[in-house]
């Protein structure tokens, strides 16, 4: 059996030990232990040290500004050590100096070791979710974190609604006709950049339903022979990208719904000649395109000299 393809930000690098989330004595002890580590998030930015090589900065509690225990979100054990995420509002200056720089994980994720990228993606997603669920969606009362930060519970006793971390599934698909791949571009993208077709799954749809609908809405192409490829957490802010390959059952491309400015077919020779500019290597979109290109040409897309790939780094 072929091992699963693991995209950037994916991979079970944190042992989540979810049974510990409701163990308040264990949590209290871990929160005050000198060994425990904390992932600071400032607004939506992650703390990264760039020299000598890019790595995530994890700090002990004494190295952080003071915060209440209720603000720490238990992530699990990372390399065997209890690890928490703590969010700091970006309405104040960066809370920690001297350890690195707060940067946007979207642009720095591909520079980090895979396990660091995965940990920071998890931490960012949890802090963002908690920050936007401070009030109950049912009755409007304030919520409070429970289960070590993995549930936001309504403080109104007669309501008591629990809100769980939100993940928004989106499909992403490389459609091919055997010889060419279908890519599209949005009007706001840099000139020449194209990517695979993607869109959010709607209520009442399966992933397969969403693939068929999105491709038809955005490009007028009918698809068949859907095959699951891999998935990718995309915490910008809370997506889970579910990647497919599909075969085109029609060829006439149009962009009827206006989501895309243009969609067209590209051959492996086009990619090798630098047309179009491809999505960043961090993205599942690139993984899907690279998988197909390598199958067609026997070459690595990243090592093809003429290929143009959009830089993820900033
Ligand atoms: Zn409520």
CA of 141 to the centre of ligand 1 (A): 5
In whole angstroms, give the CA distance from residue 307 to residue 297.
Answer: 13
CA of 155 to the centre of ligand 1 (A): 7
Q: Which helix (H) or strand (E) holds 209?
A: helix 207-219
DSSP bridge partners of 248: 223
CA of 16 to the centre of ligand 1 (A): 28
| DSSP three-state, residue 27 | helix
CA of 169 to the centre of ligand 1 (A): 26
CA of 74 to the centre of ligand 1 (A): 24
Kindly report the pTM of this predicted structure: 0.93
Report yes or no: 126 and 85 within 8 Å, Cβ to Cβ. yes
CA of 143 to the centre of ligand 1 (A): 8
CA of 22 to the centre of ligand 1 (A): 21
- Where residue 160 falls (left for φ over 0; alpha for ψ -120 to 50; beta otherwise) is left
In the chain, what's the furthest Cα-to-Cα distance? Answer: 64
Residue 97: the pLDDT is 78
CA of 151 to the centre of ligand 1 (A): 13
In whole angstroms, give the CA distance from residue 209 to residue 206.
Answer: 5
Report yes or no: 89 and 102 within 8 Å, Cβ to Cβ. no
Residue 312: the pLDDT is 54
CA of 85 to the centre of ligand 1 (A): 25
CA of 71 to the centre of ligand 1 (A): 20
CA of 164 to the centre of ligand 1 (A): 13
CA of 44 to the centre of ligand 1 (A): 26
Instruction: List for the chain the helix, strand, coil content (%; round to 5).
Output: 25, 30, 45
CA of 137 to the centre of ligand 1 (A): 7
Instruction: Please state the separation of Cα 84 from the chain's center in Å.
Output: 19
CA of 134 to the centre of ligand 1 (A): 11
CA of 292 to the centre of ligand 1 (A): 49
Per-residue pLDDT of the chain (314 residues; tens, 9 = 90+): 566 788 999 999 999 999 999 999 999 999 999 999 999 999 999 999 999 999 999 999 999 999 999 999 999 999 999 999 999 998 877 778 788 999 999 888 889 999 999 999 999 999 999 999 999 999 999 999 999 999 999 999 999 999 999 999 999 999 999 899 999 999 999 999 999 999 999 999 999 999 999 999 999 999 999 999 999 999 999 999 999 999 999 999 999 888 899 999 999 999 999 999 999 988 999 999 999 999 999 999 999 999 999 875 44
What distances in angstroms separate CA 144 from CA 31, 83, 131, one per listed residue? 18, 21, 11
CA of 59 to the centre of ligand 1 (A): 35
CA of 92 to the centre of ligand 1 (A): 30
CA of 163 to the centre of ligand 1 (A): 10
| DSSP three-state, residue 117 | helix
Residue 197: the pLDDT is 97
- Considering only CA atoms, which of 69, 263, 125, 256 is closest in space to residue 181? 263
- Considering only CA atoms, which of 94, 28, 26 is closest in space to residue 64? 94
CA of 39 to the centre of ligand 1 (A): 30
**Residues shown for the chain:** 314
Residue 190: Cβ within 10 Å count: 8
CA of 204 to the centre of ligand 1 (A): 26
CA of 48 to the centre of ligand 1 (A): 37
């Amino acid at each position: 059996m072929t091992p699963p393809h693991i995209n950037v930000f994916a991979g079970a690098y944190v042992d989540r030990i979810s049974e510990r989330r409701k163990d308040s004595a264990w949590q209290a002890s871990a929160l005050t232990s000198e060994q425990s580590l904390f992932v600071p998030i400032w607004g939506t930015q992650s703390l990264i040290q760039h020299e000598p090589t890019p790595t995530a900065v994890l700090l002990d509690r004494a190295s952080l500004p003071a915060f209440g225990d209720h603000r720490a979100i238990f992530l699990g054990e990372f390399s065997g050590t209890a690890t928490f995420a703590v969010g700091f509002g970006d309405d104040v200056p960066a809370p920690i100096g001297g350890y690195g720089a707060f940067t946007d994980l979207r642009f720095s994720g591909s520079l980090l070791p895979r396990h660091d990228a995965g940990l920071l993606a998890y931490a960012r997603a949890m802090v963002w979710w908690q920050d936007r669920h401070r009030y109950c969606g049912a009755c409007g009362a304030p919520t409070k974190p429970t289960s070590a930060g993995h549930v936001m519970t309504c403080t109104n006793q007669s309501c008591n609604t629990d809100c769980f971390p939100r993940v928004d599934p989106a499909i992403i698909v490389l459609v091919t006709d055997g010889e060419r791949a279908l890519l599209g571009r949005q009007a706001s993208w840099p000139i020449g950049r194209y990517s695979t077709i993607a869109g959010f799954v709607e209520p009442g749809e399966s992933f397969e339903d969403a693939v068929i609908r999105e491709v038809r809405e955005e490009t007028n192409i009918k698809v068949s022979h859907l095959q699951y490829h891999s998935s990718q957490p995309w915490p910008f802010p809370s997506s889970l990208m579910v990647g497919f390959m599909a075969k085109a059952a029609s060829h006439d491309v149009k962009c009827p719904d206006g989501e895309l400015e243009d969609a067209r077919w590209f051959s492996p020779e086009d990619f090798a000649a630098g047309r179009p500019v491809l999505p960043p290597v961090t993205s599942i979109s690139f993984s899907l395109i690279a998988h197909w290109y390598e199958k067609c040409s026997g070459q690595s897309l990243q090592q093809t000299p003429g290929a143009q790939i959009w830089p993820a780094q900033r």
